[in-house]
């Protein structure tokens, strides 16, 4: 049985970043992922995320934000309500170089994996997990190839349908939004100039996220009943609908990746920590994507945990893990409340609510101090 101080299950963005953040720690670490990322193709990845400048700077400090990442800075954001409300954010107004960065999931995952693979205290293991033997001080992880690994701390970074969370018997709450996000990438007729757009429509929420060159990625959050029709559209039909819903702000759009869809559910594990066990990222919490903050919450999990584990000692100590959870709960809860609340506010058909929400956008837009406070928080 091979012995590690920490085993991280899940080699996606959060799990690999967590492993990389511990590269200078005193611990011996294993990163277990059944399907390690491969060399990215030249094609564009439909999985696009927005990353806060604070997280990008952190990833750069770890050596994980490098080739082959293709990234576009967001310098401004334009938000439109469904009845004339407007809210604009500009980085220059707050003295920031950018509000966010947009990049592909696959290329960043590969860059993180390559950087983590070079860490002297880290072993990457490509294998399926099959069972956990829970102990009073250490746990044993059983792999499909017959390997058995022993550790003081198991970290579950294996996504919203976490295998480790299930093995631990940890339940979770689900707020089903009865929506799905339809995503695709497009070439644009007009330059986007680093501007992100978001339209709150009576039946949906549409976002344009700028990519390098004259390209964008879109996330169209819509009722689940409308998704089959969206998925059945031809590239030309879907591009025409996306162009019209976006009021032709970037001219004609040409679709360059097929549309894909994923259900929108706000989840929260009822326990994040146990002795020698910790859930991070989507394994612990998910949010509505309208603010683009899901992956950023996961990275902030990693940043705090790496800081708290940096001093050494038993990584599975329940006191330290509980302290971590207490310090993270406010950030996660506030983001879940804000994104979920905005979704409910802008999908409420009541005419009075329609006027209220649009007036709220306009009022916020007139208060520079409030907008700057929002931006300062979002860039962390």
Residue 88 has pLDDT above 60, yes or no: yes
Read off the CATH number of the domain in which 110 is found. Answer: 3.50.50.60
Per-residue pLDDT of 273-311, as tens digits, reads 999 999 999 999 987 665 556 799 999 999 999 999 988
Give kind and range of the element (H or E) at residue 359: helix 351-366
Asked whether residue 153 falls in the same domain as residue 269, the answer is yes
Tens-place pLDDT, residues 100-119: 999 999 999 999 999 999 99
Q: Are 170 and 315 found together in one domain?
A: yes
At 93 the pLDDT is 81
What's the CATH code of the domain at 185? 3.30.9.10
Q: For 168-182, what is the mean pLDDT?
A: 88
State whether 143 and 275 are in the same domain.
Answer: yes
Same domain, yes or no: 105 and 31: yes
* Whether residues 268 and 165 fall in one domain: yes
Say yes or no: 25 and 117 in one domain. yes
What percent of the chain shows pLDDT beyond 70?
86
Mean pLDDT for the stretch of residues 329-335: 77
pLDDT in tens, 126-160: 999 999 999 988 999 999 999 999 999 999 999 99
255 lies in the same domain as 281: no
Among 221, 243, 260, give the residue marking a domain's end.
260
**191 and 336 inside one domain:** no
Q: Has residue 211 been placed in a domain?
A: yes
14 and 127 inside one domain: yes
Q: What pLDDT does 175 receive? A: 77
Confidence band of 351 (pLDDT split at 50, 70, 90): low
Rounded CA separation 282/297 (Å): 9
Q: With respect to residue 53, please indicate whether it lies within any of the assigned structural domains.
A: no
Pairing of strands 148-156, 86-90: unpaired
281 in the same domain as 160: yes
* Domain around 151: 2-40+101-174+264-344
Confidence (pLDDT) at 121: 97
Quote the pLDDT of residue 340: 47
Q: ω into residue 68 within 30 of 0, thus cis?
A: yes
Cα 28 from Cα 121, distance rounded (Å): 5
User: Looking at the structure, do residues 108 and 170 belong to the same domain, yes or no?
Assistant: yes
In a domain, residue 191? The reply is yes
In a domain, 93, yes or no: no
Q: Which residue has the higher pLDDT, 340 or 191?
A: 191
How far, CA to CA in Å, does 277 sit from each of 7, 13, 153?
10, 19, 6
In a domain, 86, yes or no: no
Q: How far apart are CA 156 and CA 283, in angstroms?
A: 7
Mean pLDDT for the stretch of residues 362-374 = 61
Domain count, the chain: 2
Instruction: With a cut of 70, say whether residue 321 has pLDDT above it.
Output: yes
Average pLDDT over residues 60-66: 96
């Amino acid at each position: 049985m091979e012995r590690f101080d920490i085993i991280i299950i899940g080699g996606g963005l959060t799990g690999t970043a967590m492993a990389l953040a511990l590269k200078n720690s005193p611990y011996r670490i294993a990163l277990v992922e059944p399907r390690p990322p491969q060399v990215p193709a030249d094609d564009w990845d439909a999985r696009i995320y927005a990353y806060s400048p604070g997280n990008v700077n952190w990833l750069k400090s770890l050596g994980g934000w490098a080739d082959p990442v293709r990234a576009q800075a967001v310098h401004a954001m334009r938000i439109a309500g469904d009845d004339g409300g407007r809210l604009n954010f500009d980085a220059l107004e707050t003295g920031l170089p950018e509000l966010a960065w947009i990049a592909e999931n696959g290329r960043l995952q590969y860059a993180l994996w390559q950087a983590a693979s070079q860490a002297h205290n880290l072993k990457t293991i490509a294998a399926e997990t099959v069972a956990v033997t829970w102990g009073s001080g250490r746990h044993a992880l059983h792999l499909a190839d017959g390997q058995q690994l022993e550790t003081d701390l198991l970290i579950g970074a294996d996504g919203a349908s976490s295998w480790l969370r299930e093995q631990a018997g940890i339940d979770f709450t689900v707020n089903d939004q009865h929506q799905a996000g339809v995503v695709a990438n497009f070439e644009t007729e007009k330059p986007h100039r680093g501007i992100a757009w978001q339209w709150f429509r009576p039946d949906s929420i549409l976002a344009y996220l700028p990519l390098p060159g004259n390209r964008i990625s879109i996330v169209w959050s819509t009722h689940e009943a409308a998704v089959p029709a969206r998925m059945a559209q031809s590239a030309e039909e879907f591009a025409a609908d996306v162009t019209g819903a976006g009021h032709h702000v970037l001219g004609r759009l040409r679709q360059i990746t097929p549309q894909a869809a994923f259900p929108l559910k706000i989840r929260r594990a009822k326990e994040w920590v146990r002795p020698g066990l910790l859930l991070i990222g989507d394994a612990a919490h998910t949010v509505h994507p309208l603010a683009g903050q899901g992956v950023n919450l996961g990275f902030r999990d990693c940043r705090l945990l790496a800081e708290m584990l940096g001093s050494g000692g038993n990584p599975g100590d329940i006191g330290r893990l509980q302290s971590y959870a207490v310090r993270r709960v406010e950030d996660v809860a506030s983001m879940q409340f804000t994104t979920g609340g905005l979704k409910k506010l802008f999908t409420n058909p009541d005419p009075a609510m329609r006027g209220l929400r649009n007036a709220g956008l306009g009022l916020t837009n007139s208060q520079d101090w409030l907008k700057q406070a929002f931006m300062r928080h979002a860039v962390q």
